Amino acid sequence: MTAHEPVPVDGNALAGPLLFLTTTDATTTVMRCVTCGRTDVMAHARVYATGVGAVARCPGCDAVLVVVVEHPAGTRVAMPGTAWMSSGG
């Protein structure tokens, strides 16, 4: 890791930005990775946050699960590496 690479935090960093997607705490949302098939809660994802948004990566294979971007028109979310997500276990 170089001095210019961001340090990841856990999936709890996405609790606020993803609040509008779920009726429950977003960190307890269960997601399945398209790449490796791992099923886990959002809180276990590795999140790289910047001033414009965040990228959540699978803790198993490092695939991009969720991208959250703050936009003047509202929060934009893409889930390129998420096969499915569920608000309950």
What pLDDT digit, counting tens, does each position of 15-65 carry?
776 766 666 777 888 999 999 999 999 899 999 988 888 999 999 999 999
Write the CA distances from 14 to 46, 50, 56, integer angstroms: 10, 12, 8
Q: 37 in the Ramachandran plot: left (φ > 0), alpha (ψ -120 to 50) or beta?
A: left
Instruction: Give the N- to C-terminal CA distance of the chain in Å, as an integer.
Output: 35
Q: What are phi and psi of 44, to 5 degrees?
A: -90, -10
46-59 pLDDT tens trace: 999 888 889 999 99
Q: If residue 74 lies in a helix (H) or strand (E), which one and from where to where? A: strand 74-78
The model's pTM:
0.75
Give the pair of three-digit tokens for residue 47: 């999140």
